[in-house]
Amino acid sequence: MTSTPDVLSCIQPTADLHVGNYFGAVANWVKLQQTHRCIYGIVDFHAITMPYDPVALRKNTRNMVIDLLACGVDPEKSILFVQSLVPEHCELCWILSSQCSFGDLSRMTQFKDKSQKLQSESGDDYISAGLFFYPVLQAADILAYRASYVPVGKDQEQHLELSRGIARRFNQRFNTDLFPEPKPLFTQTPRIMSLAQPESKMSKSAGPKHYVGLFEEEASIRKKIKSAVTDTGLPAAEETMSPGVANLFEILRACQADIAADQLQTDYQAGQLKYAQLKGAVGDALVALTEPFRRRRQALVGDEAMIDQQIRQLSEQARQIAADTLNRVRKLTGFPKSQP
């Protein structure tokens, strides 16, 4: 596929996906492949806007490619690329930066949140200009492929709105309809909560008790679910469900184990649910879901040189589309042609 895709989404190369990432993002990516032409990116240029380690970044990027392939992102159906292997993103980012105001960027709440967090956690006053510029690069990620739909979480709504504004301003300024205004796709995805602290979102940063890794071994998955926080004693029939129990039900339903979930819910309503039973069912469902992922991942890891070669090949397809967009952009904006 070298025509523009319908759907584009990107993820930062963090270490090892957890089941929250899977249900909240990756599962949706895999599903969208059945109905749309999709392009998915691993945005390693974005990852350097916060303090980072270069060796870990390269490793995480490679791992993220493997993880996404293992989860079912299918290079026969979709394009998968690594952002830093498509240099057109940076070129477009620079050109778009003049179609985006300083004031607009100053209003981005993610910048405010992340910079405050950096200051309070490390006591460091150093906030990179890259972190401030991050949303322009995100707009370039999307507009380089002229994608119409962008599946993202609600936290990205403001960045998407900014991308739409940049597309609109560019089209008006250069009297073109080159860029469609990208629309967010807020599909219903569950928000999976921490196992140890079910009031907060499942995330890796809180520590290993809080999450289940997508490629964890069976015994470890079961052990973590067994230790998940519920509440003390049997629930009374009318009481509202505690966040820990509700989260276990959420995971069970996300795994599409609806028959088991319905039965256990009936038991819960009758005040007869044993949490060990619920945890057993959740463990079974997660092991069944992730077993093929672990198997596929095993088959993919090992030969790093071969994987890197494959990543370059996959990214080359993306580059063809992005380069075509850039040629048109250069023509519209007054730059010499870079290709004959």
C-beta separation of 20 from 203 below 8 A: yes
CA-to-CA distance for 3 and 18, rounded, in angstroms? 33
Using CB under 6 A as the binding rule, the residues of this chain from 28 to 57 that contact ligand TRP are: 43, 46
Does 11 bind ligand AMP (CB under 6 A)? Our answer is yes
Nearest approach in angstroms of CB 191 to ligand AMP is 5
3-class DSSP state of 225: helix
Q: Is 204 a catalytic residue?
A: yes
Using CB under 6 A as the binding rule, the residues of this chain from 29 to 48 that contact ligand AMP are: none
Could you tell me how far CA 31 lies from the centroid of its own chain? 14
DSSP-derived secondary structure letter, 222: H
CA angle, 282 as apex, 276 and 287 as ends, to 5°? Answer: 125
C-beta separation of 22 from 64 below 8 A: no
Out of 10, 21, 222, 230, point to the residue binding ligand AMP (CB under 6 A). Answer: 21
Using CB under 6 A as the binding rule, the residues of this chain from 136 to 195 that contact ligand TRP are: 138, 141-142, 150, 152, 156, 159
Looking at residue 62, its amino acid is R
Catalytic residue among 31, 59, 204, 226: 204
Does 192 bind ligand AMP (CB under 6 A)? Our answer is yes
Nearest approach in angstroms of CB 287 to ligand TRP is 28
Out of 24, 41, 182, 235, point to the residue binding ligand AMP (CB under 6 A). Answer: 24
Nearest approach in angstroms of CB 19 to ligand TRP is 17
Out of 202, 212, 251, 322, point to the residue binding ligand AMP (CB under 6 A). Answer: 202
Instruction: Catalogue the E-assigned strands of the chain.
Output: 7-11, 38-42, 79-82, 149-151, 183-185
Residue with smaller CB distance to ligand TRP, 99 or 230 = 99
Nearest residue (beta carbon) to ligand TRP: 10
C-beta separation of 60 from 100 below 8 A: no
Looking at residue 317, its amino acid is Q
Among ligand AMP, ligand TRP, none, the one that 46 touches (CB under a kind-dependent 5 to 8 A) is ligand TRP
β-strands 149-151, 79-82 pairing = unpaired
Among ligand AMP, ligand TRP, none, the one that 250 touches (CB under a kind-dependent 5 to 8 A) is none
Q: Contacts with ligand TRP: how many residues (CB under 6 A)? A: 13
Q: What share of the chain is helix, strand, coil (3-state, %, to 5)?
A: 60, 5, 35
CA-to-CA distance for 2 and 23, rounded, in angstroms? 29
Residue found under tokens 């088991």: 260
Backbone phi, psi, residue 229, to 5°: -70, 130
Does 255 bind ligand AMP (CB under 6 A)? Our answer is no
Nearest approach in angstroms of CB 154 to ligand AMP is 8
Residue with smaller CB distance to ligand TRP, 83 or 230 = 83
Residues that bind ligand TRP (CB under 6 A): 8-10, 12, 43, 46, 138, 141-142, 150, 152, 156, 159
Catalytic residues: 114, 201, 204
